Amino acid sequence: MTRGRALGPRDKRGATTREKEKMSELLTPYPDITPYETGMMDTGDGHSLYWEKSGNKNGAPVVFLHGGPGSGTLPRHRTLFNPEKYNIILFDQRGSGKSTPHASLENNTTPHLIKDIEQLRAKLGIKKWAVFGTSWGAALALAYADAHPQSLTALVVSGAYLSRDAELHDLYFEGGVVSRVFPDVFEPYIALLPPGQRANPLKGYQALFKSADAGARAAALDRWTRLEKKVSQLVVTDEELSADMADPAFVLAHSLLENHYWLHNSFMDGDRIARDIGEKTKNIPVHFVQGRYDMVCTFATAWELHKAVPHSRLHVIDNTGHAMREPKTTHTIIDIMNKLEVRP
């Protein structure tokens, strides 16, 4: 064994003094803040969307696009942005969070969501805004930038995703990345399906979600969301998993809406967006934030997009997975947003 430089004594969790000092230098979320304005927006086709504004009324507008689909926004999402610099816009996408009707699949596609974002921007009197999206929200941010590049001052995505077959295979299908790296997590998910339906778990779970058997339906809703949550970080504690799965309304919307979107590749042409996004965003800053060991939105997509957008910056975060709440990922996002040159 070769000798290495001494790093200092380890605490009971195995962290050295030097490692703890480095972690303490990471930028942490801003303190919790209360929205200064909230409302509901009627989409005109059966949905009503919750929206809120917080931070600086006169600051640079930034809109946060949450994951899922179906996850909804949380108070901690406000804390990623400097409340003195930004006018922070959060909203719950169709069927998610406080938006109604809850978990509805009707009139719920990516083109609908893109229309909603533009409608909200106009409603709030915002000419242009920075767009931040994470996970599914990254795909939505890319699709929105593709459709309305004139509305953006900057694009920042964490966990790049385009909902293509290979990306879906990585997480949900036998032989994909998750089934090979986390076989103990994947097996309970796939085992819920009859053997004849395992070739396409997306369709198999759709059938379970529509089952007249309440017990089978509840088990399917749980295992669909549990699969993603258990592989979303390098280490997912029992406490974090329990907190993620504690809200039945969240699990319902997250499972139903994800399955609905994935069955249709999110109603978008991910390959075309990847080809065109460099030209569409050539006049604005673009940042890709990617955990090296992200099992939900694997690194290949971020790498492809970075090459397709020559002026973009790719922030690869070692020793992290998918979740924004991992400290190094949180630090990177806050640092990017702090340094971003956007104006009111």
> Same structural domain for residues 212 and 233?
yes
Is 226's pLDDT higher than 70?
Answer: yes
> Same structural domain for residues 200 and 125?
no
Query: Per DSSP, what are the bridge partners of residue 64?
Result: 90, 132
Instruction: Provide the residue range defining the domain that includes 226.
Output: 166-265
Decide if 213 is catalytic.
Answer: no
Q: What is the pLDDT of residue 344?
A: 79
> Same structural domain for residues 206 and 328?
no
Is 19's pLDDT higher than 80?
Answer: no
Residue 23: inside a domain, yes or no? no
Q: Which of 54, 71, 135, 179 is catalytic?
A: 135
Q: How confident is the model at residue 26 (pLDDT cuts 50, 70, 90)?
A: confident
- Please spell the DSSP secondary structure of 251-314, one letter per residue: HHHHHHHHHHHHTTGGGS-HHHHHHHHHHHTTTS-EEEEEETT-SSS-HHHHHHHHHHSTT-EE
Decide if 158 is catalytic.
Answer: no
Domain boundary among 223, 244, 265: 265
Average pLDDT over residues 113-134: 98
Domain boundary among 219, 237, 265: 265
> Same structural domain for residues 243 and 111?
no
> Same structural domain for residues 87 and 156?
yes
Number of domains in the chain: 2
Is 8's pLDDT higher than 50?
Answer: no
Q: What is the pLDDT of residue 6?
A: 33
Q: Which of 47, 260, 287, 322 is catalytic?
A: 322
Q: Residues 58-77: pLDDT tens digits? A: 999 999 999 999 999 999 99
| DSSP three-state, residue 89 | strand
Average pLDDT over residues 277-301: 97
> Same structural domain for residues 103 and 155?
yes
Q: Which of 96, 294, 306, 312 is catalytic?
A: 294
Decide if 331 is catalytic.
Answer: no
Q: Tell me the pTM.
A: 0.92
> Same structural domain for residues 293 and 324?
yes
